[in-house]
Amino acid sequence: MRSSDAKKILKKLKETFGPSDIDPGFEKKRFELVKTDRNDIILVDGEPLIFTIGDEPFLTVKGALVVKPEKRTVVVDAGATSFMAKGADVMRPGIVRADPDIETNDLVIVVEEAHDKALAIGRALIPGSEMVGDHGKAVKSIHRVGDSIWNVTP
C-alpha cells in the first residue's frame, strides 16, 4: 500500500477517534491491503488492525485492542459477553454505558466491562445517549473476536 494511501486512512481514523488515540508510531509501520468479498482489510506490520466498510476505515477488534480508544465505545456487562462471542447483536439491557457522542449509523467498538477489552465492531442503531435501557437492539454486529477478519493472515 502506498504511504500516501496509508496517511489518508490514518487521517480519517484520527478524525474518528481523536489524534491522541491513534498512535503516531502507526505512520512508521508497513501497511498492506487485503481485498475480500466483504471488506478490505489493512494489515499493519502483518496484523489485521484496520478494515473498511464502504469507504470508511475503522479499527478491527485487534486494532481496538492495540489502540484502546476512548471514543465510539459501547460497554457491555459480563452477561452479554458470551452472546457477543457468537456474533449476536448488542441489546440495550446488556449495555452498561456508551459514548454519548455516538450517532445512529456510526461504527462503534463493543467493549466488555470487566477487563475493558474489545469484543466486536458494530453499527449503532440508536444514538449513544439512548443505548442504556430495558429492551431493544442497540448495535448491529459486523465483526467479532474469532471471525474471518480476526483470523486474516498475510
For residue 25, what pLDDT is reported?
62
Averaged over 66-80, what is the pLDDT? 92
Provide the pLDDT for residue 121.
97
pLDDT digits (tens, 9 = 90+) for 99-125: 999 999 999 999 999 999 999 999 999
pLDDT at 20: 72
- Mean pLDDT of all residues belonging to the chain: 91
The pLDDT, as a whole number, for residue 23 is 67
Cell numbers given for 20? 491522541
Residue range 128-148, pLDDT digits in tens:
999 999 999 999 999 999 898
pLDDT band at 24 (very low <50, low <70, confident <90, very high): low
Comparing 83 with 153, which gets the higher pLDDT?
A: 83
Q: What is the pLDDT of residue 1?
A: 83
Indicate whether this model's pTM tops 0.85: yes
Position 61 pLDDT exceeds 90: yes
Mean pLDDT for the stretch of residues 61-65: 93
**In order of start, what are the domains of the chain with their CATH numbers?**
3-67 (3.10.450.120), 73-144 (2.30.130.10)
Tell me the percentage of the chain whose pLDDT exceeds 70. Answer: 97
Tell me which residue of 66, 17, 60, 62 sits closest to 39, measured CA to CA.
60
Interval 36-50: pLDDT, tens: 888 899 999 999 999
Of the listed ranges 74-78, 90-94, 122-126, 149-153, the least confidently predicted one is 149-153
> Which residue, 61, 76, 62, 79, is CA-closest to 112?
76
